[in-house]
Structure 1
Amino acid sequence: MVSELSTGARGVLPAPGPLRPLALATLLSRVGNGLLMTVSVLYFNRIVGLSIAQVGLGLTVAGLFGLLSAVPLGHLADRRGPRGLFVVLSLILCALSLVYLFVQNFWQFLVVSIVLTMIDRGAGAVRAALIAAITTGAGRVAARAYLRAVTNIGIMLGAAVGAFALHFDTGTAYRLMFVLDAVLSSVAALVVLAIPRVAPQPHDDGRPVWIALRDRGYLAVAALNAGMSIHFAVLDVAIPLWVVDHTDAPRWTVAVLLIINTVVVSLFQVRSSRGVADPTTAARATRTAGLLLLASMMLMAGATWGNAVTAVALLAVGAFVQVIGELLQSSGSFLLSFDVAPGHAQGQYQGVWNTSMSISTMVAPTVLALLPLGLGVPGWIILGVWFALVGVLFVPVVRWAERNRSTALLAT
């Protein structure tokens, strides 16, 4: 295990150990993710002939089915060991992504999307269980922070390569991106085999099987985290329409705000995690994040007044404040997802945590459409107050979850 995130001689790679191959695998797979994020919707629309509404409906339905898989597959990781299961699921995902190339109508797209999303959500829980198995203490938070920075870098690289396919705008160019994603993800899966095998966790026949679903404290913390995580969609969903329709800022401001977020996360996610060492400090960091997000939403709202220069300045400062809150909230989330869960059932508990995050991702566009985009300035203020209130609740709820965890786990 690694107890802390130490770096290699160049200060970029983690020290030799299980985290290094996992970081390389993460980079390779996220480059592939960036490729598909850039081209997949256009491929299904322009090449396959599906409407944007059909693509959106298919992905939404697949997302609903995806909620069913994380907990069972996470539990299977506890029973069988996460490393081998993660490799198998990753290779299955590679094969399924290539099946997309044979899709010719909406129903085929829907079936493939459902199966792929269910396995993908489950693989996420298994991956988190693997991280829990190869790290310990504050090293888990540092490892997750490092991997998140690697994720951002990988997606940026993938998006840059995917831009070439967009330039050519041909079926061959788009299909090549799917193949390249499958190759990179397959190599990434095999790299994970360099991590030492993780022993399965024995199951006590006297204990209920689905203990994570009975742990009210953990469920409450996961629900609060999901409510806070709505902010991740602000830059992707709300800001583009807000900038164009409600401010005098030029359209390129949207790209600037995204660059601010991506660069700051890539450079400072690991550093921001250093003060998060236990559930108490994680809860306090999340409380601070909620207050920063309130300030950020106020700045975003203020951009509707004033000229273009004022609007750009307020949006840029708002984006910077938001990403600082994002760094703190992410670090707190990393630790809480692991440390409020018992060590013998990390896979199952990570399944619950990932499911809550999936729900947050699904509801976020609707919340943003109703509040900032629907109500304007009052909607931004309501959203900011929501983040602040949720952040304040973290400290007492985490304290309650820790105090009651033993009772919850023994309940029958």
Structure 2
Amino acid sequence: MSSRVLAHAQLANSIGDGVYLVTSAFYFAQIVGLPATQIGLGLTLGWGVGAVAGVPLGHLADRRGPRGVAVLLALATAAAVASFLFVRSFAPFVLVACLYGTAQTGLSAARQALLAALVEPSERTRVRAMSQATLNGGLAAGAAVGGVALYLGTREGYLAVFALDAMSFLVAAGLLLRLPSVRACAPSGSRLEVLRDRPFALVTLINAVMLFYMPLLSLVVPLWIAARTSAPTWVLSALLLINTGGVLLFQVRVARRVKGLRDASAAVRRAGVLMFGACVVFALSPYGWMFLIVAALLQVTAEMLLAAGGWEIAFTLAPDDRQGQYQGFFGTGVAVARMLGPVVLTTLVLGGGTLGWLLTGTMFVLAGAAMAPAVRRSGVGAGCW
């Protein structure tokens, strides 16, 4: 029951996220009238503040109970999205972007702490995979709705979908309230123990490097296709469909095979190898658009392996009374990838061509290989190796 409610809440807010991802840049540029440089800077600052806030908000979930904190942060996200409707200049845009990034990052940490409290340890990765598959389905549905607003291109259309985005987080908050209340705990040790846990920090850093795959399909590959290939424009839609459909259909199946730290580390290592293969095939795409399809298949397989391995590692290494702050810290990898990934990957790939793709792939394979030694340093589950 709890896993189903968590998935439904994820579906609700992921529909809103899909709307936001598709329409936000056009809304801020065409309706609000902000220059592209200010949009990029404001969103970067927002996710940067969110990354810093993730750990203390996760700690708050540990101390006050993850359900209540998750509900409050879902409401705060709804308020942030609604506030975007009233932004007319750069300074308010930055403030709202910081609220949005903080609420989103904290909500993710609180939601993972809630999952850890309600689900047996052996089932956490599987349930997390269900949520991820649901998330991708919601993103696809939200993107379709956002596409309608883009087609209309009117102020009213954009305002309507942003209002829908805000409503989706209100619905998610209501669904989270249906979950059992989780007793708050008083974490042992220092207030933010995760900041002193060097092995976990290393694991988080490696995962952040692996997450640099995130801007590939949304930014780097489209720019690569436009600059270096003669592929038809519909190929990009096919690549996105392969990615979202693959995760929706197969993420749970992949996660079921990950049981314990040994399996999780091996999954991350295989993800690095597959990402290297994807980069090699992407480099071949000027010789035929079919290479793009093959590369996308390799990439989504790597993505699912990385996700399953990362979830298992994060849940297992985190002490039960500090799941919130540990998940908040681990989740900073997403914010780091969103901030630095576009700059690093566009510089390597668009500036370096084939060599850039090979360097990018090497980065992934080295990071994947480093995960197992990093996990061993934690000393957790030593008998499983």
TM-score tier by shorter-chain length is: over 0.9
Matches within 5 A, 1:244-263: 244-263=226-245
- CA shift, 1:111, in A, is 1.3
Larger displacement relative to structure 2 (107-116 or 322-331): 107-116
Is 1:301 equivalent to 2:283 in the alignment? yes
**Which amino acid letter does the alignment assign opposite residue 21 of structure 2?**
M
Match of 1:7 in 2: none
Q: Using the alignment, how far apart are the partners of 1:257 and 1:131 within structure 2?
A: 31
Q: Using the alignment, how far apart are the partners of 1:136 and 1:170 within structure 2?
A: 48
Q: Using the alignment, how far apart are the partners of 1:134 and 1:312 within structure 2?
A: 46
Gaps of 5+ in 2: none
Q: Secondary structure at the match of 1:68?
A: helix
Match of 2:314 in 1: 337
Q: Using the alignment, how far apart are the partners of 1:55 and 1:234 within structure 2?
A: 20
Q: 2:4 aligns with which of 6, 16, 20?
A: 20
Match of 2:143 in 1: 159
CA contact (8 A) 2:211 2:333 kept: no
Is 1:32 equivalent to 2:16 in the alignment? yes
- Say how many residue pairs are matched: 382
Q: Using the alignment, how far apart are the partners of 2:63 and 2:324 within structure 1?
A: 9
Q: Secondary structure at the match of 2:259?
A: coil
**Which amino acid letter does the alignment assign opposite residue 268 of structure 2?**
T
**Which amino acid letter does the alignment assign opposite residue 180 of structure 2?**
P
Q: Secondary structure at the match of 2:52?
A: coil
Match of 1:70 in 2: 54
Q: Using the alignment, how far apart are the partners of 1:375 and 1:274 within structure 2?
A: 38
Q: 1:286 aligns with which of 254, 263, 268?
A: 268
Q: Secondary structure at the match of 2:185?
A: coil
Percent of aligned pairs with the same amino acid: 39
Gaps of 5+ in 1: 1-16, 406-412
Q: 1:320 aligns with which of 294, 297, 302?
A: 297
User: Residues 404 and 149 (structure 1 numbering): CA distance in 2 closer, same or farther, change over 3 Å?
Assistant: closer
Q: 2:340 aligns with which of 357, 363, 387?
A: 363
Is 1:79 equivalent to 2:63 in the alignment? yes
Is 1:119 equivalent to 2:66 in the alignment? no
Match of 1:6 in 2: none
Larger displacement relative to structure 2 (364-373 or 111-120): 111-120
Tell me the TM-score normalized by structure 2.
0.96
Runs of at least 4 residues of structure 1 off by over 2 A? Answer: 402-405
Report which of the two structures shows the higher radius of gyration computed on alpha carbons: 1
Q: 1:349 aligns with which of 326, 329, 334?
A: 326
Match of 2:208 in 1: 226
- CA shift, 1:264, in A, is 0.7
Match of 2:252 in 1: 270
**Which amino acid letter does the alignment assign opposite residue 276 of structure 1?**
V
CA contact (8 A) 1:296 1:321 kept: yes
**Which amino acid letter does the alignment assign opposite residue 380 of structure 1?**
W
Q: Using the alignment, how far apart are the partners of 1:203 and 1:290 within structure 2?
A: 35
**Which amino acid letter does the alignment assign opposite residue 292 of structure 1?**
L
Match of 2:219 in 1: 237
| Structure that is richer in helix per residue | 2
CA contact (8 A) 2:12 2:168 kept: yes
**Which amino acid letter does the alignment assign opposite residue 66 of structure 1?**
G
Q: Using the alignment, how far apart are the partners of 2:381 and 2:10 within structure 1?
A: 35
Match of 1:48 in 2: 32
Match of 1:101 in 2: 85
Q: Using the alignment, how far apart are the partners of 1:242 and 1:147 within structure 2?
A: 31
Cα distance per residue 1:379-412 (max 9 Å; x no partner)? 101111111111111111111123599xxxxxxx
Q: Secondary structure at the match of 1:112?
A: helix
Larger displacement relative to structure 2 (394-403 or 147-156): 394-403
CA contact (8 A) 1:276 1:332 kept: yes
Match of 2:367 in 1: 390
Q: Using the alignment, how far apart are the partners of 1:29 and 1:403 within structure 2?
A: 34
Q: Using the alignment, how far apart are the partners of 2:216 and 2:264 within structure 1?
A: 23
Tell me the TM-score normalized by structure 1.
0.90
CA contact (8 A) 1:217 1:404 kept: no
Is 1:185 equivalent to 2:169 in the alignment? yes
